[in-house]
Amino acid sequence: MQVLIAERLRALMREENLTQVELAKRIGIKQNTISAWLREKKEPCITSLWLLADYFETDIDYLVGRKDTP
């Protein structure tokens, strides 16, 4: 299974027209952490995945590539 977090996160941010700074403020994560996720330097912990899934009204399986629809 290929983890698709960076790709899926970029697409969701683009759909919502969100910058890294805006997303960081809205979910309470540092902007440099989001940057590291998008550059595939780090992967979000489970708590961060919950925050992302809740914010984008999707599920973790979509974020990590286990299913194809949000």
Q: Is residue 40 part of a domain?
A: yes
Per the structure, how many domains does the chain have?
1
Quote the pLDDT of residue 1: 43
Q: Which long-range contacts (CB under 8 A, 24 or more apart) does 38-43 make?
A: 38/6, 38/9, 38/10, 39/6, 40/6, 43/3, 43/5
Range of the domain at 50: 5-63
pLDDT digit string, tens, across residues 10-61: 999 999 999 999 999 999 999 999 999 999 999 999 999 999 999 999 999 9
Per-residue model confidence as pLDDT tens digits over 22-31: 999 999 999 9
CATH number for the domain harbouring residue 46: 1.10.260.40
